[in-house]
């Protein structure tokens, strides 16, 4: 069942969160859809402009559509993450997406409002949900790099003003996460007082946590043991932080770094242990199974295992 993110968030708010997972290639899509069907869990599959440039937008949307036929019992949305107008309006016009994100967080408040309002008008005309962003996250994602000196937390008063002005459907906020593998090197963690204040001002409004990967230490250690050279002095978002954030309105949690690290671990270990091998399909099969198991754990952590049935019921009633 293909839904908008707005429909997903109306049901999950305050009860559980929905993983939004970046995909680049076939093995990731197989692993994600297979896990969701096995767990009966709703999810969001998302692509970035970088992924669209890498694989071609038509290729990505076609692979996702094929997966929905291979795994017909899944409940999901298709989201374009960190989009700019050239990507967003192309996605709206060509179809295939049920949600888009306009990332104007680096603009001043008035410019962010103006750009977001234009996207909301175009997207809502086609029943496509819109995610916007306030606050700037540090770190590296795809081809975007922001140093810590230029990042800043989201202002709850601005959130209220922004949502009322733009009518966006969800908002990504900066509360201490960062993009990439090197999060929380200073140990600051999530800023829950910001989430609490936003919820007081906008009860029921869905928030989005970017940079939501855990950066599992064991995975980093295994990569380095197999020839990698990743830093080990940082951690990702901890499980207890995720559980605490969900009742405060976090409905969507983005995952990208963890799956990249998983791919790296599988392939480095495979070719280290089997140097005579050269076919990509064998490690590909291993990766799909590891990916599936990884996502099953995420569904449990976010509290959405078994929750896809809620949307089938709502669809029947509605």
Closest by alpha carbon to 183, among 157, 209, 205? 209
C-alpha of 45 from chain center: 8
Catalytic residues: 81
| CA–CA gap between residue 6 and residue 116 (Å, rounded) | 16
Q: How many CB atoms are located within 10 Å of the residue 294 CB?
A: 21
Say if CB 87 and CB 52 are below 8 A apart: yes
| CA–CA gap between residue 251 and residue 307 (Å, rounded) | 13
| CA–CA gap between residue 206 and residue 202 (Å, rounded) | 9
Q: How many CB atoms are located within 10 Å of the residue 313 CB?
A: 10
> Which tokens belong to 97?
């997406």
Helix (H, G, I), strand (E, B) or coil at 254: strand
CA distances from 211 to 21, 287, 314 (A): 11, 22, 30
Say if CB 21 and CB 35 are below 8 A apart: no
Closest by alpha carbon to 254, among 22, 71, 26? 22
Say if CB 113 and CB 166 are below 8 A apart: yes
Say if CB 138 and CB 146 are below 8 A apart: yes
Closest by alpha carbon to 302, among 19, 10, 108, 1? 19
The phi and psi torsions of 134 (rounded to 5 degrees) equal -130, 135
């Amino acid at each position: 069942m293909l839904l908008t993110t707005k429909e997903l968030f109306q049901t999950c708010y305050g009860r559980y969160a929905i993983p939004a997972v970046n995909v680049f290639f076939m093995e990731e899509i197989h692993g994600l859809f297979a896990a969701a069907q096995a767990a009966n869990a709703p999810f969001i599959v998302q692509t970035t402009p970088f992924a669209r440039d890498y694989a071609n937008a038509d290729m990505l949307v076609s692979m996702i559509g094929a997966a929905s036929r291979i795994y017909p019992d899944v409940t999901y949305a298709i989201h374009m993450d960190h989009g700019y107008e050239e990507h967003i309006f192309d996605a709206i016009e060509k179809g295939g997406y049920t949600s888009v994100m306009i990332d104007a967080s680096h603009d001043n408040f008035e410019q962010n409002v103006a750009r977001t309002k234009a996207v909301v008008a175009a997207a809502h005309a086609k029943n496509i949900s819109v995610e916007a962003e306030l606050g700037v996250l540090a770190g590296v994602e795809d081809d975007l790099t922001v140093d810590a000196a230029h990042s800043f937390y989201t202002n709850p008063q601005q959130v209220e003003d922004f949502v009322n002005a733009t009518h966006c459907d969800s908002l990504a906020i900066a509360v201490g996460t960062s993009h990439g593998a090197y999060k929380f090197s200073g140990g600051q963690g999530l800023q829950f007082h910001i989430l609490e204040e936003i919820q007081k001002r906008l009860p029921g409004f869905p928030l989005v946590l970017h940079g939501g990967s855990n950066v599992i230490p064991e995975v980093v250690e295994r990569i380095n043991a197999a020839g990698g050279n990743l830093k080990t002095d940082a951690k990702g978002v901890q499980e207890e932080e995720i559980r605490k954030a969900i009742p405060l309105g976090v409905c969507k949690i983005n995952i990208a770094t963890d799956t990249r690290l998983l791919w790296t671990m599988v392939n480095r270990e495979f070719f280290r242990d089997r140097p005579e091998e050269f076919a990509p399909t064998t490690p590909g099969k291993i990766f799909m199974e590891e990916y599936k198991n990884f996502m099953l754990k995420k569904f449990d952590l976010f509290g959405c295992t078994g929750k896809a049935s809620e949307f089938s019921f709502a669809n029947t009633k509605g």
